[in-house]
Chains A and B, each alone.
Chain A
């Protein structure tokens, strides 16, 4: 059974960089046809796609966040990571990592439990 687990600081100061990792177990992050993504959800609000990465390092980013986002992959650790720079209170959210099916169809099938990141001094 595939499992994803987010990890990282729950509190980040304004203007700093938010850093999270997602560890994948039960399957190889290098499997074909899968992208691995980050999605966030501000308290009481809807889902927002942040970006996705293939094991080769190919990435897609949300245009509205692209200037501040970096997603990377470490196949040796079966892990992928998110960095979001220059954070503000508006970046306070539950951050989820998820597996994305791509190719002839596109959807997120497995999700992590999510981790709340609060931006505050």
Chain B
């Protein structure tokens, strides 16, 4: 099953801004948009944003998402040590009639 493409790793300094990308196609990201999940080691994924830039209650405003064509992005401002985690994008794929995930990006906060 074709998945979404994410860079394997991103490293940024404390208090800097990181932008993570997620590339799909017109059947998934370009059609329904993407959601973003954060996963700390040993824990289940946690929803950060959905429908491109809606945040669940309790999620910091430092996390913002956007979409341009078939690519979704997650921007994290003012990086904190606790932001170090794996980040996954997910989307509904209308041609596959199912969900697809990106391979995940490991964010390191230096």
**B-side interface residues toward A, CB under 8 Å?**
1, 32-33, 35, 37, 44-47, 50-51, 56, 88, 90-92, 96-104
> Interface residues of B: mostly helix, strand, loop or mixed?
strand
Contacting pair A105 B50 (CB below 8 A): yes
Chain B residues with CB under 8 Å of A101's CB are 50
A 88-112 contacts with B by CB, 8 A: 96, 100-102, 104-109, 111-112
Q: Which residue of B lies closest to A63 (CB)?
A: B1
Give the one of B46, B88, B99, B103 with max A CB within 10 A. B99
Q: Which residues of chain B come closer than 8 Å to A63, judged between CB atoms?
A: 1, 96, 98
User: In whole Å, how far is B55's beta carbon from the nearest beta carbon of chain A?
Assistant: 12
At the interface, yes or no: A64 with Cβ under 8 Å from chain B? yes
Taken together as a complex, chains A and B put the C-alpha atoms of A60 and B1 apart, in Å, by 14
Instruction: Collect the chain A residues with CB atoms within 8 Å of residue B91's CB.
Output: 106
Nearest CB in chain B to that of A102: its residue: B92
A48 part of interface (Cβ distance < 8 Å): yes
Which 7 pairs of residues, A with B, have the shortest CB-CB distance?
A106-B92, A107-B35, A107-B50, A49-B99, A111-B44, A105-B51, A47-B101
Tell me, yes or no, whether A62 is within 8 Å of chain B by CB: yes
A2 to chain B, nearest CB (A): 12
Shortest CB distance B1–A (Å): 5
A sample of 8 inter-chain contacts (CB < 8 A) reads: A39-B101, A47-B88, A64-B1, A106-B32, A106-B91, A107-B47, A112-B44, A113-B44
Chain A residues with CB below 8 A from B1, complex form: 62-64
Query: Across the interface, do A109 and B99 meet the contact criterion of CB distance under 8 Å?
Result: no
- Which residues of B have CB within 8 Å of A62? 1, 98
Contact B46 A111, beta carbon cutoff 8 Å:
yes
Q: Name the contact of B104 in the complex, choosing from A47, A51, A96 (C-beta under 8 A).
A: A47
